[in-house]
């Protein structure tokens, strides 16, 4: 088959890789001047296979009144009042509790395990350089009660084949000595030794180049898809700013822009933007090697080569991609407060913000849509980097 993949972020390039490996003729279209400049450019950097809890969870449900009043520092909700957004919000709240939340977690764990294996396969074939380090991930919990609750949740993950360890404070310090200089108190942590970290932007651009140079994929940069093309009730290609392109099938792997294109053929996608922020600075000798998540503050730290990245926040504040100066300042202040000696924060890169495309359940849309000839790989939320390889390989299997 000839397949057009729309989107040159990490979801698009991994989709194109697995489709090409399956023998398809693939054209990859990216609207920016190069791949990996959108959400893939500045995400948290963590490959958190064992920590794929959806944003919709019981703790968020209990904090919902504070979130609506703007009193929660990690999550902000100021969605527009369109009917689609209201429906999305109600569905999101329903997924915060009960069986829906548990089912979403289990589905994400299965996909995360697939992704872990798929990335290993890809790197065995394509030796990419993206500051990859499999040093594990440690999630810090402030008190013994929170740590005990996390330990019970860890049992579900062990049932899915993940190695999970519950560590007291002393063992956390032995594992990561940099925590001795961490400013927040913690009772212990949950350690996932098989988790990793890497620069998603470097990975995406490296794989994009490999696709065009070594795998025969048509790569098209600086091209914006305006509409999907239909004939006899089937998607048969795309319309571009200045031309059109035909194919046997089209894959929407373009994140937050996927709903716009799907709407051109009458398809509504339950995807809303959730904005996250990150700051990246030169790492100092006191920087942590293990990837860290502070569960109370909802902030992550990832060591990427000679840099340390801190990422936080989940803001449902509309469709504007702009950086909110107040939120940017809050992130810098939080990183400085928690880990002042871990990085040269005065020499940090400009604070980045990205709109992560999220479904109400947190589970991405992967596979055939109800419109013949149109396939989806979108809606990964804040887990796109973690789930990308598994999602791309799963999509290729579905199309096969």
CATH code, domain with 114? 3.50.50.60
pTM comes to 0.95
Q: β-pairing, 218-220 with 2-6?
A: unpaired
H or E segment and range at residue 268? none
Calpha distance 183→351 (Å, rounded)? 22
151, 164 contact by CB (below 8 A): no
In the structure encoding, which two tokens stand for residue 284, read together?
């100092």
7/303 Cα distance (integer angstroms): 27
- Here the contacts of 159-162 (C-beta below 8 Å, separation 24 or greater) are 160/106, 160/109, 160/110, 160/113, 161/113, 162/49, 162/50, 162/109, 162/113, 162/192, 162/194
Task: Report whether 136 contacts 191 (CB < 8 A).
Answer: yes
Residues whose CB falls within 8 Å of the CB of residue 221, separated by 6 or more in sequence, listed in order: 8, 30, 32, 33, 34, 35
Residue in 269, 49, 81 with CA at minimum distance from that of residue 164: 49
Torsion of CA 81, 82, 87, 93, to 10 degrees: -30
The total number of structural domains in the chain stands at 1
Q: Which domain holds residue 82?
A: 2-399
Q: Is 298 left (phi over 0), alpha (psi -120 to 50) or beta?
A: left
From first to last of its 400 residues, the chain has per-residue pLDDT tens of: 999 999 999 999 999 999 999 999 999 999 999 999 999 999 999 999 998 887 766 666 565 555 554 546 677 767 666 777 778 877 877 877 777 777 888 899 999 999 999 999 999 999 999 999 999 999 999 999 989 988 888 888 888 899 999 999 999 999 999 999 999 999 999 999 999 999 999 999 999 999 999 999 999 999 999 999 999 999 999 999 888 999 999 999 999 999 999 999 999 999 999 999 999 999 999 999 999 999 989 999 999 999 999 999 989 888 788 899 999 999 999 999 999 999 999 999 999 999 999 999 999 999 999 999 999 999 999 999 999 999 999 999 999 9
Per DSSP, what are the bridge partners of residue 307? 282, 304
Q: Which residues pair with 197 in a beta bridge?
A: 46, 133
pLDDT in tens, 63-86: 555 555 454 667 776 766 677 777
Q: For residue 49, give Cα distances in angstroms to 42, 105, 164.
A: 19, 12, 11
């Amino acid at each position: 088959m000839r397949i057009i993949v729309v989107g040159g972020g990490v979801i698009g390039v991994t989709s194109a890789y697995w489709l090409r490996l399956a023998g398809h003729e693939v054209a990859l279209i990216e609207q920016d001047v190069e791949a990996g400049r959108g959400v893939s450019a500045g995400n948290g950097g963590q490959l958190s296979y064992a920590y794929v809890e959806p944003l919709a969870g019981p703790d968020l449900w209990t904090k919902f009144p504070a979130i609506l009043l703007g009193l929660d520092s990690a999550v902000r909700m100021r969605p527009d009042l369109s009917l689609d957004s209201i429906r999305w919000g109600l569905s999101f709240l329903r997924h915060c509790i009960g069986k829906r939340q548990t089912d979403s977690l289990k589905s994400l764990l299965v996909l995360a395990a697939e992704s872990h294996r798929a990335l290993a396969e890809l790197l065995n074939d394509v030796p990419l350089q993206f500051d990859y380090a499999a040093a594990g991930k440690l999630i810090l919990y402030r008190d013994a009660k929170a740590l005990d609750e996390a330990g019970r949740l860890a049992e579900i993950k062990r049932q899915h084949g993940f190695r999970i360890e519950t560590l007291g404070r002393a063992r956390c310090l032995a594992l990561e000595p940099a925590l001795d200089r961490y400013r927040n108190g913690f009772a212990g942590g949950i350690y996932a030794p098989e988790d990793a970290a890497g620069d998603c932007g470097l990975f995406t651009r490296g794989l994009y180049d490999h696709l065009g140079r070594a795998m025969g994929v048509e790569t098209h940069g600086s091209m914006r898809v305006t509409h999907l093309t239909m004939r006899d009730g089937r998607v048969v290609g795309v319309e571009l700013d200045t031309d059109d392109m035909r194919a046997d099938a089209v894959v929407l792997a373009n994140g937050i822009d996927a709903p716009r294109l799907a709407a051109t053929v009458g398809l509504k996608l339950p995807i809303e933007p959730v904005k996250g922020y990150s700051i990246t600075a030169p790492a100092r000798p006191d920087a942590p090697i293990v990837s860290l998540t502070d569960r109370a503050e909802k902030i992550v730290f990832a060591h990427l080569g000679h840099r340390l990245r801190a990422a936080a926040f989940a803001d449902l504040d509309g469709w504007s991609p702009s950086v909110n100066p107040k939120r940017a300042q809050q992130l810098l202040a939080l990183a400085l407060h928690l880990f002042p000696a871990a990085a040269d924060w005065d020499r940090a890169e400009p604070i980045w913000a990205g709109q992560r495309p999220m479904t109400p359940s947190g589970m991405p849309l992967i596979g055939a849509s109800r419109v013949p000839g149109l396939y989806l790989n979108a809606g990964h939320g804040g887990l796109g980097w973690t789930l990308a390889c598994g999602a791309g390989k799963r999509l290729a299997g579905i199309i096969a």
